[in-house]
């Protein structure tokens, strides 16, 4: 999915792992499959194969449910494009009408309010955290990322495990953000996370604390005012970069051991952002859409996303039941590192963004480019 899609947060600052014991509903998947085969097609949108393992997920669905073709619309679309595609589908059941969407969280509530999506609760509904789904089933979290540190361990001998540690003299001229905090969501979220690590309340207070934190880093010359990317980490220009973990893990793999690198989830603030799934109110292939959702929220579908380094929303339930392949877990930070993951509310995110983008130059004074 296009990285311009906003990583939004859930509607409460609570742990994503606060889930009830699974009590899965019994959906007649055989009957649903037969109905979907009669429709013969599923139309998706904005699902590039190299995002969150979607290529393998799509292939897995087609292998499990032969007889249903997948019409993939505009893989590089953003969340706004998906919503517009649904709007233009009203009264038009043609090949450009998506059955399902995968969007940033902020688009879930607004799409519900505008009557653009319809309710459907998958069999594994109870194992999706309440904080990451609409109570009536109109939208539901699918996967999330957390802010992490990608560290070039060929250069950095003492790997930082918290935001607070970044102030140490060990990290002079070492740390960068994966974006300009005056404009990029990934960088804005990192500044907010640094503020939350101080104990400040989410929103404007944490934003102010985060700005003060980065002002200190800048004065100490620990902060490098460039946009941190994989190449900068590999070359040692910025051997530590704060980025969403799915980006950091993919970059690490891309190094192929040269340089050696580690991805760390900071212990003092684990800030997450979630995407959501929904079925179009005008879905031409409603049964296929429901079957697609059942697949995505099954253990198999959720594992597919995890293989693409996007943490599935049912991760805690799957770990508890020991159904995640150990080989896959070994490629990730420890599962318990995510236990404190929180999702700032949309209002908190907006307040933080306003403060950070408006005050970065005045408080921090570092021209990130």
What pLDDT score does 41 carry? Answer: 97
Q: What is the dihedral of CA 22, 8, 78, 191, to 10 degrees?
A: -140
Structure confidence by residue, pLDDT tens digits, 176-199: 999 999 988 889 999 999 999 999
Percent of the chain clearing pLDDT 70 (strictly above):
93
Structure confidence by residue, pLDDT tens digits, 317-330: 999 999 999 999 99
Q: How would DSSP label each residue in 89-109?
A: TTT--STT--SEEEEETTHHH
Please state which of the four CATH numbers 2.40.110.10, 3.40.50.10800, 1.10.357.10, 3.40.190.10 is assigned to the domain occupying 29-144+272-334: 3.40.190.10
Query: Hey, what are 81's tokens?
Result: 């494009």
**Distance, CA of 110 to chain centre:** 19
Q: Which residues pair with 229 in a beta bridge?
A: none
Nearest Cα to Cα of residue 44 among 206, 348, 284, 357: 284
**Rg of the chain on CA atoms, in Å:** 21
Residues in the chain: 369
Q: How far is residue 360's CA from residue 366's CA, in Å, rounded to a whole number? A: 8
| pLDDT greater at residue 82 or residue 22 | 82
Structure confidence by residue, pLDDT tens digits, 86-144: 999 998 888 999 999 999 888 999 999 999 999 999 999 999 988 889 999 999 999 99
For the chain, domain boundaries: 29-144+272-334, 146-271+344-363
pLDDT at 350 over 60: yes
Model confidence at 25, pLDDT cuts 50, 70, 90, reads: low
DSSP H or E run through 275: strand 272-280
Domains 29-144+272-334 and 146-271+344-363 share a fold: yes
Q: What's the CATH superfamily of 146-271+344-363?
A: Periplasmic binding protein-like II (3.40.190.10)
The three-state secondary structure class of 71 is strand
pLDDT at 15 over 60: no
């Amino acid at each position: 999915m296009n990285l311009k899609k906003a990583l939004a947060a859930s509607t409460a600052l609570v742990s994503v792992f606060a889930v009830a014991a699974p009590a899965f509903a019994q959906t007649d998947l055989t009957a649903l499959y037969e109905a979907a085969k009669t429709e013969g097609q599923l139309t998706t949108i904005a699902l590039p194969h190299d995002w969150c393992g979607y290529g393998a997920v799509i292939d897995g669905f087609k292998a499990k449910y032969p007889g249903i073709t997948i019409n993939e619309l505009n893989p590089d679309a953003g969340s706004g494009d998906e919503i517009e595609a649904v709007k233009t589908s009203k009264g038009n059941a043609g090949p450009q009408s998506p059955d399902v969407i995968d969007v940033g969280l902020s688009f879930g509530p607004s799409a519900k309010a505008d009557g653009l999506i319809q309710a459907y609760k998958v069999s594994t509904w109870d194992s999706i955290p309440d904080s990451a789904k609409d109570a009536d089933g109109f939208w539901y979290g699918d996967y999330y990322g957390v802010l992490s540190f990608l560290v070039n361990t060929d250069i950095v001998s003492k790997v930082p495990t918290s935001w607070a540690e970044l102030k140490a003299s060990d990290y002079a001229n070492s740390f960068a953000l994966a974006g300009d905090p005056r404009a990029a969501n990934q960088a804005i979220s990192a500044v907010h996370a640094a503020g939350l690590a101080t104990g400040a309340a989410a929103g404007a207070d944490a934003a102010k604390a985060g700005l003060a934190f980065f002002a200190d880093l800048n004065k100490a010359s620990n902060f490098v005012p460039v946009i941190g990317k994989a190449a900068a980490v590999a070359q040692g220009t910025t051997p530590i970069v704060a980025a969403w973990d799915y980006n950091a893990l993919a970059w690490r793999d891309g190094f192929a051991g040269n340089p050696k690198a580690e991805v760390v989830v900071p212990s003092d603030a684990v800030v997450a952002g979630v995407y959501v799934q929904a079925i179009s109110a005008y879905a031409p292939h409603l049964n296929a859409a429901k079957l697609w959702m059942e697949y995505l929220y099954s253990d198999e579908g959720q594992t597919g996303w995890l293989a693409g380094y996007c943490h599935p929303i049912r991760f805690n339930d799957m770990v508890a039941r020991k159904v995640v392949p150990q080989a896959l877990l070994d490629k990730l930070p420890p599962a318990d590192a995510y236990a404190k993951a929180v999702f700032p509310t949309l209002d908190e995110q907006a307040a933080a963004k306003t403060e950070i983008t408006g005050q970065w130059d005045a408080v921090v004074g570092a021209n990130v480019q």
